[in-house]
């Protein structure tokens, strides 16, 4: 631990805070981020990052048990157990985990060490031509087109409008709402379908 000077010039020594349960430190992290008005989606992202790490590291562990070697072992674990996950996704989750652990380090719960994110090689994807885009977004004749044609057109419009991935789409859950349901303060008149996404690895 470093030293700080008091108001009268006296040098103060910060004492170790002792073993802090990893779960308790994470709850403090979430409370801090909530007070700082971090978005709900960011909070969920941090919760997912911590959840996956805890599945690897185990329950009832202390912050001081996490070391630089732990991070290397965790990355090796991800590559072995989740080979389908892209490196960019791994890097995104590791960035969230790094934020969590740096908070614990700054709080004095964990030994300080540098967390290096895995390298991500950018792949250049072939793009559609203007003609191909116009063909994809042209609405089919609903009287003569097949269900597959209409379905594909709807999906193309959905991806263009939201920028979501195919994996994100596959996690959508359809919910039935009645006319008494209020969503974020806005009254929803009539029975409608709404969708909620649960995005995990």
Report whether 76 contacts 33 (CB < 8 A).
Answer: no
Residue 117 has pLDDT above 80, yes or no: yes
pLDDT of amino acid 195: 45
Select the more confidently predicted residue: 74 or 3. Answer: 74
How far CA 6 is from CA of 3, 11, 89, 106, 191, in Å, comes to 10, 6, 45, 19, 64
Overall average pLDDT of the 153-163 stretch: 86
pLDDT of amino acid 20: 92
pLDDT of amino acid 58: 92
Supply the DSSP symbol for 122: -
Nearest Cα residue to 196 out of 185, 186, 178, 177: 177
Residue 109 burial by Cβ neighbours in a 10 Å radius (0-12, 13-18, 19+): buried
pLDDT of amino acid 164: 81
Overall average pLDDT of the 18-25 stretch: 89
Overall average pLDDT of the 97-118 stretch: 94
User: What are the pLDDT digits (tens) for 168-191?
Assistant: 777 765 544 444 444 444 444 444
Dist CA 45 CA 53 (whole Å)? 13
Dist CA 105 CA 108 (whole Å)? 5
pTM of the model: 0.56
Overall average pLDDT of the 82-93 stretch: 88
Residue 122 has pLDDT above 90, yes or no: no
pLDDT, averaged across the chain: 79
Which pLDDT band holds residue 18 (cuts at 50, 70, 90)? low
Residue 102 has pLDDT above 80, yes or no: yes
pLDDT of amino acid 72: 94
CATH class, domain 17-106, is mainly alpha
Residue 201 has pLDDT above 90, yes or no: no
pLDDT of amino acid 172: 67
Overall average pLDDT of the 16-39 stretch: 88
Every domain of the chain with CATH number 1.10.150 lies at 17-106
Q: Which residues contact residue 58 at a Cβ distance below 8 angstroms, ignoring those fewer than 6 apart?
A: none
Of 102-106, 129-133, 193-197, least confident by mean pLDDT is: 193-197
């Amino acid at each position: 631990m470093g030293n700080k000077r008091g108001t009268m010039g006296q040098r103060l020594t910060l004492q170790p805070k002792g073993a802090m349960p990893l779960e308790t430190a994470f709850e403090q992290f979430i409370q801090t981020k909530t007070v700082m008005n971090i978005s709900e989606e960011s909070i969920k992202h941090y919760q997912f990052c911590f959840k996956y790490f805890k599945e690897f590291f185990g329950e009832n562990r202390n912050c001081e048990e996490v070391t630089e070697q732990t991070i290397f072992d965790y990355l090796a674990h991800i590559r072995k157990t989740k080979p389908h996950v892209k490196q960019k996704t791994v890097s995104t989750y590791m960035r969230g985990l790094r934020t969590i652990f740096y908070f614990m380090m700054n709080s004095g719960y964990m030994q300080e060490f540098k967390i290096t994110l895995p390298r991500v090689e950018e792949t250049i994807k072939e793009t559609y031509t203007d003609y191909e885009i116009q063909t994809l977004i042209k609405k089919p004749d609903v009287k003569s087109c097949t269900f597959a044609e209409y379905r594909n057109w709807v999906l193309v419009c959905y991806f263009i409008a939201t920028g979501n991935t195919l994996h994100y789409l596959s996690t959508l859950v359809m919910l039935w709402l009645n006319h008494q349901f209020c969503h974020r303060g806005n009254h929803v008149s009539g029975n409608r379908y709404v969708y909620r996404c649960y995005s995990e690895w």
